[in-house]
Amino acid sequence: MKASEKELRSELSKTRELNQLLVDKIRDFETSTSHKKNKNFVQLSQKNIVEIVKLESASRSASRILWFLVSKMNKCNAVVISQKTLMELTGMGRTSVYTAVKHLRDGRWIDVLKVGTANAYVVNSQVFWKTTQDKKYTSFSAEVITSLSEQESENLNVLFESKLKSIPMSFAQGAGNFENVQKELDLDNI
């Protein structure tokens, strides 16, 4: 093989690599842009519209709670909220919220997981979803909603008056690996 042919093959190989890198970057950009663009959208399975109408007729309170949860859920279809805050935000009483949530659980519209004294409400992803419908794997995170009325009064002063500690960061030259950063920080005197 001649030297010029080797050079051309090498250039062609580099060009293909750059082309693939560009395609990957464009794909990443489109994915992140569409995710941001559709951030405030919730998808609904058309086959469940009739069931939603039936729910509205059977229990307006349950329907009201469901739509509240759908409006607040994150991409994992979850919201963490206490019953008290749910009552405050929906304007419903304790018995009405309890009955509505029971109706939604029994109808398999939601699942409820205990998180301390709060609940994680997980909306049925076969009905509503914010991401693709491929549910082979899932992670669990949630929008956490709380109110000042649920906080202990002594914690409110700490929350509003004190600063939390921060971890010192080193951006010194040569801090490219952990050992260099560790040498620059005096962690025993923090």
Q: How far apart are CA 167 and CA 181, in angstroms?
A: 13
**How many angstroms separate the CA atoms of 57 and 35, rounded?**
34
Q: Give tens-digit pLDDT for 95-104.
A: 999 999 999 9
- Exposed / middle / buried, residue 62 (Cβ in 10 Å: 0-12, 13-18, 19+): buried
Q: What is the pLDDT of residues 123-157, one digit of tens each?
A: 998 898 887 555 544 445 566 777 777 666 655 55
Instruction: Give the total number of structural domains in the chain.
Output: 2
Is 175 part of any domain? no
3-state secondary structure of 136: coil
Whether 127 is covered by a domain: the verdict is yes
Check whether residue 150 and residue 65 sit in a common domain: yes
Instruction: Tell me what the mean pLDDT of segment 27-43 comes to.
Output: 64
> Quick check: is 24 in a domain?
yes
Q: Is residue 184 part of a domain?
A: no
Q: What are phi and psi of 162, to 5 degrees?
A: -110, 155
Do 76 and 8 fall into the same domain?
no
- State residue 139's pLDDT score: 46
Whether residue 84 has pLDDT greater than 60: yes
| Same domain membership, residue 87 and residue 68 | yes
Q: Are residues 138 and 102 in the same domain?
A: yes
Q: Which residue has the higher pLDDT, 177 or 123?
A: 123
Q: Would you state the pLDDT for residue 63?
A: 95
pLDDT at 105: 94
Q: Are residues 32 and 115 in the same domain?
A: no
User: What is the CA angle 126-131-137, rounded to 5?
Assistant: 70
Q: What is the pLDDT of residue 165?
A: 56
- What does the mean pLDDT of the chain come to? 75
Instruction: Determine, yes or no, domain membership for 174.
Output: no
Q: Give residue 20's domain range.
A: 1-37
- pLDDT tens, 8-17? 778 777 777 7
